[in-house]
């Protein structure tokens, strides 16, 4: 019977390595003329150009602290913060006010078909102006009861 071997492939993306950094790139310059490659390795203290394939098989690969996992943990800490929830609620209220203002303005343009509807259209636009004013100038504080 033939011997079976199992190979385990580990994913070592260049952006997850503790030693990889984005290279210095210049806008509008061809890749061949760039001062550094897309990724550089700082293992050993010096910056060295590396490619993604070289980093995938590098024996010095170490999972960095600012990886996707670290970013997810930071996102959870921010999401649990009561201040952030308060800020999100304020931004949501402002977005609803602006959307309502846009709806009033659009309804005013649609209704503005006959001379008798001019007064109603002006009233809608004044409501829209009030909504925009609230969205811009209102203070929504958490301590208001």
Residue 108 pLDDT: 83
**How far apart are alpha carbons 89 and 142 in whole angstroms?**
10
Residue 104 pLDDT: 86
Out of 8-12, 17-21, 53-57, 62-66, least confident range: 8-12
Strands in the chain per DSSP E: 20-22, 39-41, 48-50
- Residue 32 pLDDT grade (very low, low, confident, very high; cuts 50, 70, 90): confident
Mean pLDDT of 68-95: 65
Q: Two tokens at 75?
A: 């996102």
Share of the chain above pLDDT 90, in %: 1
């Amino acid at each position: 019977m033939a011997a079976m071997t199992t190979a385990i492939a580990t994913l070592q993306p260049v952006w997850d390595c503790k030693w990889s950094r984005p290279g210095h790139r210049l806008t509008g310059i061809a890749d061949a003329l760039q001062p550094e490659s897309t990724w550089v390795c700082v293992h050993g203290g010096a910056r060295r150009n590396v490619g993604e394939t070289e980093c995938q098989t590098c024996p010095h690969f170490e999972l960095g602290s600012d990886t996707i996992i670290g970013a997810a943990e930071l996102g959870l800490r921010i999401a649990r913060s009561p201040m952030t929830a308060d800020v999100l609620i304020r931004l949501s209220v402002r977005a609803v006010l602006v959307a309502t203002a846009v709806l009033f303005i659009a309804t005013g343009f649609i209704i503005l078909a006959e001379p008798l509807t001019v007064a109603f259209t002006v009233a809608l636009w004044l409501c829209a102006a009030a909504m925009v004013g609230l969205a811009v100038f209102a203070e929504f504080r958490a301590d208001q009861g």
